[in-house]
Chain A
Amino acid sequence: MAQFIQQVINGLNVGSIYALIALGYTMVYGIVKLINFAHGDILMIGAYFGFFALATFNVPFGLALVVSMILCALVGMTIDRLAYKPLRNAPRISALITALGMSMLLQNLFRLLFGAQPRRMPAVIALKRIEIAPGIAISNLAIITILLSVGLMLLLEFIVKKTKTGKAMRAVSEDKSAAKLMGVNVDKTISITFAIGSALGAVGGLLYAINYYQVEPYMGMMPGLKAFVAAVLGGIGVIPGAMLGGFVIGLIETLTKGYVSTTWADAFVFGILIIVLIFKPAGILGKNTREKV
């Protein structure tokens, strides 16, 4: 039993990082109906910014986090402006392919700039294990990861539900042209969406790098893919869905590794995705909406 609870804690730790990244996918999809495959690489860029802030400039963790969030928000907005905006009215497949291209561009750009050699993330948080019950312990790093993720998700929920910007975001996601007619600045709203999504991605990246100690140009691929699955599983375009999806994926993965086999973990994750999509094509929390013609 103790082991099971321990595994659940491990799963929540991984899941909270997936959830943070999944939010970026789901927000962008909700608003511009674009699967932004470059989002996994935003995570990598965030990890690099954090790495340089921590290792080269020796700034405290909190500041590194903020710097990395701001820079990533700028990167996200720039990518949207340069690569996606000109394709706003093009067929969706063009934008999707552009996103894939952007992903490769970013990976190889960082490989060129900083080399493919993984870099060791400095241990910013002195590791402590807190025994909460016999045989069950949680590291302070896991607590920080989970709390930070949940906190940011609540903040996001607040922004989307209670602020004017959030209202504009919801309006644009519902109907772009109607929102425009009502005086919503659509381009600005989309920019803000990319900025927020990328900033959350940066936090995810930095936490991922600190949890797993390394930073390298291809590190965004796997967590990016898993987070995308999480977003789809929860219902892409639905913000609480991304959070739920992230935690579900993290738990399934960890429990499979713990009780079945590590090599089966990914198969289980993707298998469950397929099953959910068969019975509920819009995802767990997704609403079935009629396609507008």
Chain B
Amino acid sequence: MKKLLSLALVLVIVLSTFLTGCAGNDAEPTTPDATETETETEASGEAVRLGLLAPTSGALAPYGQAVKNSVELAIQEINAAGGVNGADVELFFYDNEGDSTKTVNLFNKLVDVDKIDALIGPVISTTTLAVAPIANELGIPMISPTATNKDVTPGLDYVFRACYIDPYQGSVVAKFAMENLEAKTAAVFTNVGSDYSDGLAKAFTETFEAGGGTITDAEGYTDADNDFSAILTKVKANAPDVIFVPDYFNMVGVVASQVRELGIESVLLGGDGWDGIQNDFAAEVEGYFFANHYSTTDPDPIVQDFIASYEAQFGETPNALGALAYDATNVMLAAIIAAGSTDAEAVLVALKATDMPAVCGYITFDENGDPIKDISIITVKDGKLELEAKVSGN
């Protein structure tokens, strides 16, 4: 009996090495395939390996899915046009579920197992803050399409982003509130567990107070909170002109519903995390405003072309995160083309020199790796997003 067992074990071991050996051989032919399409460039012929970390499950799934779709779209387009430096671009994607620990583990896997040349992502600020220092240390150029927290890039050479930062966004919304809505008083709701929410709230408060406005209530809450009736009752008594709720749309939807429920007249304002809110909470956020990266009603052909090909492939209009991810991928690939190889140093120099039109506005980078570009204020009208105002420059 024991003999039989050990025999079986040996068999399993032999079989497994044989099988993995086979799998290795199977994977091999893809590389020669890629070299076949190679034409004149002196590239090694190895596919350019891009990593992508995005939350495609969990509360943030709509963002992650849009990002993933857009990155795939950009890669498809560039591969159809002959690839990068004569080689195809290959994508390695993992779902990080919006969790920092998982993100770090998956990033290590991308580097150690998949041997990526560059990273697109992660999507939200908290996970990006976790992974950025590691990418910098390992010398993997990364560009987050959407991490808006101000601490993501400073001091980290290899870290870039395609979106403008939280302080900028928060203060633009504050300016908009004072100038366009003539608001004098504001309440600020902060999700204390979110770097994103905190960053926007601080910037809004600073700019609003510097402009002579008064903050009537500064309230904190966490992801676990669902019941806002207590703080909203308090806010209602102070009747501020606007309530700034910089959070992602599921939470904003819950807040907005209770704002309507309690009959509060203040106008709600938010940041780019609101994008997508019109799907589930259109009636609740009717007439409210938020800052965003692009507007689907922008007539610029680069915007309309992107929307058309995205719609053709995925059957829905891309949200701002999708547009940013598309830009981020194109910026990264353009840098690899300009560098002529996937050598991290060369790519880094090319990334810093980025100067190109993109869906979310003409993009160049400042010394931190933060983009310099336009900001759009969007309003919800009859359940649809409309461009209210466009603020340019940094």
- Could you list which residues of chain A lie within 8 angstroms of chain B, going by C-beta atoms? 3, 6-7, 10-11, 13-14, 111, 115-118, 120, 127, 129, 137, 139, 141, 208, 211-214, 216, 222, 253-259, 261-263, 266
Contacts and interface: CB of A to CB of B under 8 A. Distances in A.
B105 interface: no
Given A120-B281, A261-B219, 15 more contacts: A14-B227, A111-B57, A115-B57, A116-B61, A117-B57, A118-B59, A216-B59, A253-B227, A258-B231, A262-B221, A262-B230, A263-B192, A263-B220, A263-B221, A266-B224
13 contacts: A117-B58, A120-B280, A127-B261, A129-B261, A137-B262, A208-B226, A212-B227, A253-B227, A254-B227, A261-B220, A262-B221, A262-B222, A263-B192
Contacts of A257: 227, 230-231
Nearest to B283: A123
A222 B224 contact: yes
The interface size bin for chain B is 20 to 34
A254 B229 contact: yes
Contacts of B58: 116-117
A254 to B, nearest CB: 4
Contacts of B226: 208, 212, 214, 222
B289 to A, nearest CB: 21
Contact of B257 (A118, A213, A216): A213
Nearest to A256: B230
Nearest to B224: A222
B280 A3 contact: no
B260 interface: yes
Nearest to A139: B261
B237 interface: yes
A7 B254 contact: no
B263 interface: yes
Query: Chain A contact residues: over half helix, strand or loop, or mixed?
Result: helix
Contacts of A263: 192, 220-222
Contacts of A213: 253-254, 257
A213 B221 CA distance: 18
Contact of A10 (B221, B230, B250): B230
Interface string B249-269: 010011001001111000000
A127 to B, nearest CB: 6
Given A127-B261, A263-B221, A258 B61 contact: no
B202 to A, nearest CB: 16
A262 B231 contact: yes
A115 B58 CA distance: 8
Contact of A254 (B220, B230, B263): B230
B14 to A, nearest CB: 35
B62 interface: yes
B238 to A, nearest CB: 10
A13 B262 CA distance: 14
A152 B243 CA distance: 38
A266 B226 CA distance: 13
B229 A117 contact: no
B296 interface: no
B225 interface: yes
B281 A3 contact: no
A214 B254 contact: yes
A40 to B, nearest CB: 13
Contacts of A222: 224, 226
B234 A214 contact: no
Residue of A13, A212, A216 ringed by the most chain B CB atoms within 10 A: A212
A117 B281 CA distance: 15
B233 interface: yes
B388 to A, nearest CB: 25
B21 to A, nearest CB: 33
Given A6-B233, A262-B219, A263-B222, A115 B61 contact: yes
